Amino acid sequence: MTELALRLPRAGASGIGRAIRALREADKLLLVSAFVCGLIVLIAIIGPWIAPHSANEGEVLSANLEPSGAHPFGTDSLGRDILSRVLVGARLSLIGPALVILACTVLGTTLAIGSAWFGGSVDKTVARVLDVLFAFPALLFAILAVAVLGEGFWAPVAALSIAYTPYMARIVRSLAVRERNLPYVEACRLSGFSAWRICAAHLLPNVWPIILAQATIGFGGALVDLAAISFLGLGVQPPSNEWGLMVADGRTALLNGWPQEALAAGAMIVITVVAFNVLGERLAAREEP
C-alpha cells in the first residue's frame, strides 16, 4: 500500500505539467523507435487500402517513370506504382519475421527454462542438440529447407524458426539459471507450488522483459534473412509483393538505369530494421540498472 501512496501525484501538480515532466524524463529514442515501429506495423495492416494505385497492375506505357506527383516513388519496369507496391508489400515482409520470432521465442524459452529447471542430463541433451543446430548458419539452413520443401513462404519461415531457437535458448537459459537460484524460487517450492506454476507464474514474468527485448532485436535479423531468401528467388514468388523480391526485381532495372524500385524497397527494409533494433536495444537498456 505504501508503494501505491508514493506514486500518487503531489498536490498541486497539474495533469499537463506531469505529462510534460514524464515526457522529459522518458527515453526519447525508445519513444521515437516505438512510434516508427508502430507506423510500419500499421502500414502492414492497412497498406492495401491506403495504396494510391494497384500494386499488381500497371500500364506498360508508363514503365520506369521517374518519381512525380502521381507516382511519388516512380514506377517499375512493368509500369506498376512503386509506392503502392511498397505499401502493399509491407504485410508479407513483416508477417514472415513475426512468425519466425514468435516460434523461436516460444520454442527457445520452453527449452531454456526446461533445461535450467531440470539441469543434469536434460540440460546436457538440449545443449548437444542446440550445438548441432549452431553448426548451420541460419541462411544455409533456410536454403536447405527450400531444397527439401520447395520455394515459397513457409519453408524459409519454418527453417529460420528452428535456426534462431538456439540463440534465444542460450540467452534465456543463462537468465533462468540465475533466477532459479534466487530465494523466491525456493520459497515457492517450500510453499508447495508445482514446478509448472513456479516457472510459468513466477520465473517467466521475471525474465520476460529481456526476452521481449531480444525478440525485438531478432525481428530485424529475421526480416533481413527472409528478404535475402526472397532476393535469391527461393522465398515468396512473383507476383507477390515483398520487399526482398522488389530489390531483386529492381536490380535488373537498376543495371539498366532505373534504380527507383530497388532503392525504395531497400530503404524500407533498412528503416524497419533500424527502428526495431533501436526499440529492442532501448527495451533491453531499461532492464539494466
The region of 98-106, 113-121, 188-196, 263-271 touching other proteins under the rule CB under 8 A is: 263-271
The region of 43-51, 68-76, 182-190, 268-276 touching other proteins under the rule CB under 8 A is: 268-276
In this structure, are residues 245 and 236 in contact, taking their beta carbons and an 8 Å threshold?
yes
From candidates 102, 140, 187, 201, binder to other proteins by CB under 8 A:
140
Element (H, E) at 227: helix 204-231
x/- site string to other proteins, residues 174 to 213, per CB under 8 A? Answer: ----------------------------------------
| 51 DSSP assignment | -
Place of cell 531457437: 165
Determine if 96 is a binding residue for other proteins (CB under 8 A): no
User: CA–CA separation, 228 vs 230, rounded Å?
Assistant: 5
Shortest distance, CB of residue 250 to other proteins, whole angstroms?
7
Report the residue number, 44 or 275, with the smaller CB distance to other proteins.
Answer: 275
Determine if 77 is a binding residue for other proteins (CB under 8 A): no
Shortest distance, CB of residue 146 to other proteins, whole angstroms?
6
Cβ burial of 183 (10 Å; 0-12, 13-18, 19+) is exposed
Report the residue number, 100 or 234, with the smaller CB distance to other proteins.
Answer: 234
Determine if 52 is a binding residue for other proteins (CB under 8 A): no
Residue list 224-253, contact with other proteins (CB under 8 A)? 224, 227-228, 231-234, 244, 247-248, 250-251
In this structure, are residues 163 and 101 in contact, taking their beta carbons and an 8 Å threshold?
no
Cβ burial of 66 (10 Å; 0-12, 13-18, 19+) is exposed
Write out the DSSP string of 142-202.
HHHHHHHH-SSSHHHHHHHHHHHHHHHHHHHHHHHHHHHTSHHHHHHHHTT--HHHIIIII
Which positions touch other proteins (CB under 8 A)?
131-132, 134-140, 143-151, 220, 224, 227-228, 231-234, 244, 247-248, 250-251, 254-255, 257, 259, 262-263, 266, 269-270, 273-274, 277-278
